[in-house]
Amino acid sequence: MKKVNRRRKPKPAHLLGLGLDNEDGHKRLTTAEEFTIVGGSDETHGRMTETVIKTFEELKTRGKKLAAVEAHELAEIIHKATPR
């Protein structure tokens, strides 16, 4: 009997950033293929967006896709990418 080689579809992966400190009434939304940033003050939304962009730059440097990276490694990358 032949062994059937079934390729599994990659798990979809998407980062979601949610800012809860908006008091100016503006609705902020930034989307891309693998992330969405929703809400927050102008400063918070900008920081989240910067963090996510740096995170994806680091993943690219490491030659990894979001769906393939382990949670602990992703947390480390995000922590390092977060502006202080």
Where in the chain does DSSP place strands (E)? 15-19, 29-31, 35-39
Does a structural domain hold residue 31? Answer: no
pLDDT of residue 12: 86
pLDDT of residue 7: 73
Does a structural domain hold residue 32? Answer: no
- Largest interatomic CA distance in the chain: 67
Does a structural domain hold residue 8? Answer: no
pLDDT at residue 4 greater than cutoff 70: no
pLDDT at residue 44 greater than cutoff 70: yes
What six digits make up the tokens of 34? 């693998």
Contact 11, 51 (CB under 8 A): no
Structural domains in the chain (count): 1
Does a structural domain hold residue 6? Answer: no
The CA radius of gyration of the chain, in Å to the nearest whole number, is 17
Does a structural domain hold residue 69? Answer: yes
Q: Residue 56 and residue 71: Cα distance in Å, rounded? A: 14
pLDDT at residue 53 greater than cutoff 80: yes
Does a structural domain hold residue 1? Answer: no
pLDDT of residue 1: 60
Does a structural domain hold residue 45? Answer: yes
Does a structural domain hold residue 55? Answer: yes
